[in-house]
Structure 1
Amino acid sequence: MADPLYLKTPQGREIAYHLTEGEGPCVVFLGGLKSDMQGTKAVHLEDWAQETGRAFLRFDYSGHGQSSGTFEEGCIGDWHADTLAAIEALTKGPIVPVGSSMGGWQALLLARARPDRLAGLVTIAAAPDFTEDGWWAGFDAAQRALLEAEGRVELPSDYMEPYIVTKRMIEDGRNHLVMRDPLELACTVRMLQGTADTAVSVAIATQLVAHAASPDMQLLLVKDADHRFSDGRCLGLIERAVEEVCAL
């Protein structure tokens, strides 16, 4: 696999990326928390883009994969800034973000910040506002005290090594919530969600459908699919969702 190229952001961070030239709108993969652009879904979509002549971008947020920084230094706002920098420097014209888990939250932030750029939107187990409604809401008194005293707390994960949650992540997350105020998505939206997902529940997906406004929004629930959403069946569903949005 080819080495990545690097983009220096206005904040001085080095963002690793792979860009496939092709017809638009450019499909942009936004990965999940502590995931990277070498993941199954990102690489599968790149292969699809190359086979179909579609423009495609995948990149690592700062503190992820091959980009600069460490995960513990980052927060939702930093990764949103990374996303904006990548979009503005590496793509032109309409885009179709494909956001997985935390990347779904990033896709919604992108839609709010650059509504004129979106030709469509696809989410996979989108996890909007999870720092507040998942982490903070789930902390007990001891964890909240530890976060205040030491600035960090460790949380287990069903899908990877434990998360280090910092006080900055929690506080910054509150500045980027999308489920409190009206959320206008002026494009076609396709949402995919597994019923066996233990990280993001079906209830979160249905809450997002109820909360957001879109001229054409559909939620597909996939029985027994888990949070990874990366077996052959699920990859096919992602591909079809992206094709549908790009064709409209």
Structure 2
Amino acid sequence: MPDPSFLVTPEHRRIAYRLTDGEGPAVVFCGGFKSDMEGTKALHLQRWAEQTGRAFLRFDYSGHGSSEGAFLEGAIGDWFEDARAACGLLAGPLVLVGSSMGGWISLLLARAMPERIAGLVGIAAAPDFTEDSMWAGFSEAQRAALQRDGQVTLPSDYSDEPYIITRRLIEEGRGRLVLRDPLDLPFPVRLLQGTADTDVPPSVALRLLDHATGPDIRLTLVKGADHRFSTPECLTMIEDAVGQVLGR
């Protein structure tokens, strides 16, 4: 595979992307926390876009994958800005597909530029997770360590290396929350959620469904699916959800 292309954001971060030309609305994949654009879901949608002649964009946030920057220096606002800059590569309406943290990023994009959004698909979307999952789940000792040392370590189910959570990630995220104020999504929205997801439990999807307002918002719960949501059956469901949004 050829090397990715790069763009420099208005904030002077150099991020990697891969763009497939095709018909619009273009589909934009926003990945998860500490993931990259070479994951199963992103590559599956790449192949789907090539087969259907659909414009498709995937990219790496700064500090992720092939993009420049240090992961530990990043925060939700930085990665939202990266995503917004990547969307600037495309003209016309967009369909956002956000996985886990990418679901939060997609909601921030929808709030920032609603006139460009033709639809949104959330896959185990994790809005406000720095506050409602991380901070809320910290013990008093962990909160004290975060304030004292500027970071705290959490185990990871996906790597032998633990997650290092910085104080900036938590504090900056408080200015990016989307479930505290009205959240209008005036376009088709499809939310996909596994019932066996222990990272982003179904209660998060139900809260988002209850909180958001819009004419066409639907949540599909998949019994037994986990956070990866990458089995062949789940990948087909993602395709179908994108197709539904495009069809509307």
TM-score class, shorter: over 0.9
Task: Write out aligned runs for 1:53-132 (5 A).
Answer: 53-88=53-88, 90-132=89-131
Say which SS state the counterpart of residue 119 (structure 1) adopts: strand
Q: What residue is the counterpart of 1:8 in the other structure?
A: 8
CA distance in 2, matches of 1:54, 1:240: 14
- Structure 2 gaps, min length 5: none
Q: What residue is the counterpart of 2:194 in the other structure?
A: 194
Q: What residue is the counterpart of 2:135 in the other structure?
A: 136
* Count of residues paired in the alignment: 247
CA distance in 2, matches of 1:242, 1:165: 32
CA distance in 2, matches of 1:147, 1:180: 24
Letter in structure 2 aligned against 1:97: L
Instruction: Give CA-to-partner distance per residue, 1:130-183, whole Å, 9 cap, x none.
Output: 000011111111111111111000111222332111010011000000000000
1:204 CA drift (Å): 0.5
1:75 CA drift (Å): 0.2
CA distance in 2, matches of 1:157, 1:217: 32
CA distance in 1, matches of 2:125, 2:151: 24
Are 1:158 and 1:199, in contact at CA under 8 Å, matched by a contact in 2? no
Say which SS state the counterpart of residue 183 (structure 1) adopts: coil
- Structure 1 gaps, min length 5: none
Are 1:128 and 1:178, in contact at CA under 8 Å, matched by a contact in 2? yes
Task: Write out aligned runs for 1:221-240 (5 A).
Answer: 221-240=221-240
Matched, 1:149 2:148: yes
User: Which deviates more, 155-164 or 56-65?
Assistant: 155-164
CA distance in 2, matches of 1:103, 1:239: 17
Letter in structure 2 aligned against 1:96: V
Task: Write out aligned runs for 1:155-174 (5 A).
Answer: 155-160=154-159, 161-174=161-174
TM-score normalised by the chain length of structure 2: 0.98
Matched, 1:36 2:13: no
Say which SS state the counterpart of residue 121 (structure 2) adopts: strand
Instruction: Give CA-to-partner distance per residue, 1:39-90, whole Å, 9 cap, x none.
Output: 00000000000010000000000000000011101000000000111111x1
Letter in structure 1 aligned against 2:171: E
Are 1:34 and 1:64, in contact at CA under 8 Å, matched by a contact in 2? yes
User: Which deviates more, 7-16 or 159-168?
Assistant: 159-168
CA distance in 2, matches of 1:113, 1:4: 27
Q: What residue is the counterpart of 2:205 in the other structure?
A: 205
Instruction: Give CA-to-partner distance per residue, 1:6-50, whole Å, 9 cap, x none.
Output: 001111111100000000000000000000000000000000000
The Cα RMSD (Å) is 0.6
Are 1:77 and 1:176, in contact at CA under 8 Å, matched by a contact in 2? yes
CA distance in 1, matches of 2:43, 2:152: 32
Q: What residue is the counterpart of 2:179 in the other structure?
A: 179
1:188 CA drift (Å): 0.4
Letter in structure 2 aligned against 1:135: M
- Following TM superposition, the consecutive aligned residue runs of length 4 or more in structure 1 with deviations greater than 6 angstroms are none
- Give the share of equivalent positions with the same residue, in percent: 64
1:211 CA drift (Å): 0.1
